[in-house]
Structure formats: C-alpha cells, structure tokens
Amino acid sequence: MTAPKIIWFRRDLRLSDQAAVAAAAASGPVIPVYILDDDTPKHRKMGAASRWWLHYSLEALECRLRQKCSRLILRRGVASDILAEIVKSTGATEIHALRHYEPWWLNAQSHLQGRLDGGCQLVLHDGNYLLPPGTLKTGSGGDYKIYTPFWKAMREHMPPQKAIDAPSELQTPASWPETEKLDSWNLLPTKPNWATGFEKNWMPGEQGADDNLNSFADIAKQYDEGRNLPSEQLVSRLSPHLHFGEISPAAIWNHIAGQGSKVETYLKELVWRDYGQNVIHQFPQYGGESYREKMRALPWRDLSKTDVKNDLEAWQKGKTGYPIVDAGMRELWTTGWMHNRVRMIAASFLIKHLLIDWREGEKWFWDTLVDADFGSNATNWQWVSGTGVDSNMFVRIMAPLSQSEKFSAGDYIRKWVPELSDIDDPYVHDPEEHGCRPKEYPAKIVGHKEGRQRALDAYQQVK
C-alpha cells in the first residue's frame, strides 16, 4: 500500500481552497493531524477566547473529514516532536502544511525539518494570505514598510487564483495513529462559563465562514460607511474565520471584488491583514516592542501603582465612564469581538487618555478576541500608539465622546451598557455632561482635556 501523507493543520482549518490538503490527497492515503502546541509559542499560546473558538472549529473540521471518509488525529505537545513520532509509527513519507510566519511557527518548521530523516520531508504550501509575506518588493528590492504603496503593489497581483475545491474523498491509511479526545483539552470555560454570548453570536467552521461571507456579500457595497457605524450590522464578521483559516482570503476576494469600486475599502482591509504579516515577517519582535526607537522612551504610567492598575481594570471591564469605550469593552467580553471603529476608539483611550502602555492592551485583546492574530493585533496597536513602522501620529488623540455622536453609536451603547438603555440621543453619548448619569453607571475616570494634556506632555519628553 502507498505510504501515507500527513496533513498538518494549524490556523488553516478547512478543506476547501487548502493547498496542503489538495496536494496530500492527490498522492494517496492521508493522516490529518492537529497538535495543540502550547510549548512552542510560549507566552504567545492562544488566549482563552481563541481556545473557545478552536474547540468548535476542530469539531467542525472533524465532521467535514468524516464526510470525506477520514478523521482528525488530535495530539497535544511540541508539534515537531509529535509529528516526528507519527512519521516513525506510520511510515509517512511527507508532511504537507500551509506556511505560517509567526516567529514560533517559523522555528517549529525549521526544527521539524531537522528532525526528519531522508524517508520523510516537510512540504510547505501557500494559502493563508493573498500573497506570501516577502513576495512584494519595492523598486530597490526591499520589503514594503508603508501600507499605501504595499496596497498599490498588491492590487497589481489581484485577483488571486480561483479556489481549489475540497477533495471528494480522502483515502485512509492502513492504520491510524493514536488520538486524544477533544474534550480532554478543556478548551471551553466551565466555572463560570463566560462564553454563553459567544455561542449566540458565532458558528465556527467552514460552514459558518461561508454563511458570513454570503450575508456580507449582500451589504458589501455599504462597508465604506458601515465600518464606522457600530449601531449598524454592516461589517463582514469574517475576521475569526480568516484567523483560523476556515476560509481563504482568496475565496473572499473573488467573491466580493466583482461588485466593483464600492467594495474597494473592504478589499483594502483584507490587504491590511497581509500587510500585518509582512510587518512581523520583517520585525519578529513587533508584538512586544515599539518599532520607533524614540517612542520606546515614552513615560507610560507605572502599573505598579494602585490608581494605574485600577484604571486598566476599569478599561478592561468597560467601566470608564465613557459610554462608547465601555460598550466596546463589554461587547468584547460578551462576544469575543468588537466593532472596527470602536476598537480604534477603545485602543486610543487606553493609550492616550489613560497613558497606559499599548502592550497592556495588546495582551488583553490577545486573550479576549476570537480573532486574536499576532500580525494584525500588533500592527493595529502600534498604528494607534504612534510607535509603529507605519502608524498614526501619537498627538492625534481621538475624542471618544464626539466620535460616539459623529458615528451614531447610541443604539450600540444602549445595547451593551444596560445602565444607559433608557437614555436617548444625544445624551447617551455623554450622560455625565448632560446631568443624567444614572447612579449605577460610573463617573469618568479621567476628563477628556486632562487625559489629552497628560498624553501631550508625555510626548513632549520624547519629541
């Protein structure tokens, strides 16, 4: 019998438009494998919200594989060690996988290649991004650091190739290696179960991704305006599906791009995801170190002090006294996701109004977002903080109260901050200023002018 091929799944939990699946399936029996590796990423292991999503995404993938007469082998430990062990026990001659560019996965891929002897090889494929990071080069042959020229260069290479269909059937090996039970991994919260809101808002897996894509296609032309209107449902909600690879960016592009120029803003967001990977590919420490050297000296407030800790906790719990910020943070805690515009407002508030290090926000989002992505998370936080390779200026400080009113966030606030559910516009945006703050809703932890000035004073020290 033909020796089996291993499919190594990571953040690519789909069968459609999955080059590693297609290549392995074309050459004989396959052994699909997912390894929960918390050792290789170290402090970058998946956060709690991502682990919730992973559980149900693996369930969905297992179901899809069963439909193809196959199954999913689950193991826990160091990925390179376990794959080498499975190769030895099964006689597999190839390991097929999509390329990953996070520093820990680059290390794992390199380590695995060193563990394999001549009888087996690691075969890496592209497909997690529109183009592999590092593909686009400037006129001088370097990598792009600034987004706008990156977008223009990417546009010249689009559209991507058409999607590859999922195999109609997967051949089974002569014998299966041992597998673990998904429930034994304890990925889901129990005491307490803080994810009940996740279950109401999401359906992980390929089917959920396809459903969200089809729903968004009907409103994609409204995205340019809708991405700024948190009270409206005019965004794609595809980010967690993209992060876990339940749908390919190429499939999304080809489905949406045909609607013409009105969807270009969304396509730019899709390319921003590629851009984030290009950034971390060039600067692997980007998730934990400010790119701009002078900004590394910015005098952030000291988290060892009680008042600063209290401010951080108020931000995390959505109790800052700024309704738009609190609504976003409570939406995040309840659903594992936050609206596009509100993410920027909430991030700016932490960095500028509270003068708390952007890395504290990045860590919180890493743990609480179902779409927590190393490249995107780091790039977005460094953009807001003015510390990134391509970023907003630190002195551009969002005014959350006026942003809330400008983008008609009243219904959004009333939904996520029940203490304010009976307050009408325009008072709901700033009930304290209008003298109608309910006693159960907190007062502002810092005044807008006070917080803004503190941030500007801090910047003067590094200017």
CATH code, domain carrying 389: 1.10.579.10
pLDDT per position as a tens digit, 212-223? 999 999 999 999
Is 453 inside any structural domain? yes
Mean pLDDT, residues 127-142: 96
Domain-terminating residue out of 235, 263, 282: 282
What pTM does this model have? 0.97
Mean pLDDT, residues 49-61: 98
Handedness of CA 253, 255, 258, 264 (dihedral sign): negative
Whether residues 138 and 69 share a domain: the answer is no
pLDDT per position as a tens digit, 61-110? 999 999 999 999 999 999 999 999 999 999 999 999 999 999 999 999 99
pLDDT score of 1 more than 80: no
Is 53 inside any structural domain? yes
- How far apart CA 239 and CA 102 sit, in angstroms, is 17
Whether residues 261 and 304 share a domain: the answer is no
Whether residues 315 and 363 share a domain: the answer is yes
Total structural domains within the chain: 3
Structure confidence at residue 118 as a pLDDT band (50, 70, 90): confident
Whether residues 298 and 445 share a domain: the answer is yes
Is 186 inside any structural domain? no
264 touches 253 (CB < 8 A): no
CATH of the domain at 93: 3.40.50.620
β-pairing, 121-125 vs 94-98, is: parallel
Question: Measured between alpha carbons, how far is residue 425 from residues 283, 331, 352, 402 in Å?
Answer: 45, 20, 26, 13
Percent of all residues in the chain with a pLDDT value above 90, rounded to a whole number: 96
Whether residues 14 and 109 share a domain: the answer is yes
* Structure tokens that stand for 47 in this block: 């956060």
Is 190 inside any structural domain? no
Structure confidence at residue 243 as a pLDDT band (50, 70, 90): very high
Whether residues 115 and 143 share a domain: the answer is no
| Predicted pLDDT of residue 124 | 97
CATH of the domain at 236: 1.25.40.80
Is 191 inside any structural domain? no
* Structure tokens that stand for 39 in this block: 């050792």
Whether residues 269 and 146 share a domain: the answer is yes
Quick one: which of 437, 449, 357, 355 has its CA closest to 399? 449
Quick one: which of 122, 95, 96 has its CA closest to 110? 122
Whether residues 108 and 137 share a domain: the answer is no
Q: Provide the domain limits for residue 347.
A: 293-457
pLDDT per position as a tens digit, 352-379? 999 999 999 999 999 999 999 999 999 9
Structure confidence at residue 119 as a pLDDT band (50, 70, 90): confident
pLDDT score of 311 more than 80: yes
Mean pLDDT, residues 251-261: 93
How many residues are present in the chain? Answer: 463
Whether residues 234 and 303 share a domain: the answer is no
Is 81 inside any structural domain? yes
Is 462 inside any structural domain? no
Domain-terminating residue out of 214, 247, 282: 282
Domain-terminating residue out of 256, 282, 308: 282
pLDDT score of 260 more than 90: no
Mean pLDDT, residues 166-181: 96
Is 187 inside any structural domain? no
| Predicted pLDDT of residue 463 | 84
Conformation bin of residue 434: beta by default, left when phi > 0, alpha when psi is -120 to 50 = alpha
**Site of tokens 């860590």:** 363
